[in-house]
Amino acid sequence: MPKITVLPHPVLCPEGAQINNAEQGQTICDVLLQHHVDIDHACEKSCACTTCHVVVREGFNSLEEATDLEEDLLDQAWGLTSLSRLSCQAKVADKDLVVELPKYTINHAREH
């Protein structure tokens, strides 16, 4: 099973995380939530916001290509890079991943 390494995030995962048993076909978001990394997902994983935006530092090319809808939404994400994905849409494949959680999201509930 692929491994997901989550780089440290000051609020969501201060120590970082190592997930050794990520199931292929699950979304990155679901795997993180199952392993107590409380990534934002304001639209309940329906590909309608950018709060679950991640940067896939390693293993990006193993993921299926983003849909046009995901690409359009990513254009609104804070800290967009060429390695950005919505974690609710990116499914774990057969390669290990290193994931960075951006410092900010466009999540009004968290901002208040």
Give the total number of structural domains in the chain.
1
Q: Has residue 35 been placed in a domain?
A: yes
| CATH number for 52 | 3.10.20.30
Q: How many helices and strands, by DSSP H and E, does the chain display? A: 3, 5
Strands of 2-59 (E only): list them.
4-6, 17-19, 53-58
pTM above 0.75, yes or no: yes
**Is 60 strand, coil or helix?**
helix
Q: Has residue 112 been placed in a domain?
A: no
User: Residue 94 sits in which domain range?
Assistant: 4-104
Q: For every one of its 112 residues, what pLDDT tens digit does the chain have, with 9 covering 90 and above? A: 999 999 999 989 999 999 999 999 999 999 999 999 999 888 888 898 999 999 999 999 999 999 999 999 999 998 999 999 999 999 999 999 999 999 877 764 454 3
Alpha-carbon distance 74 to 101, whole Å?
A: 14
Q: Has residue 111 been placed in a domain?
A: no
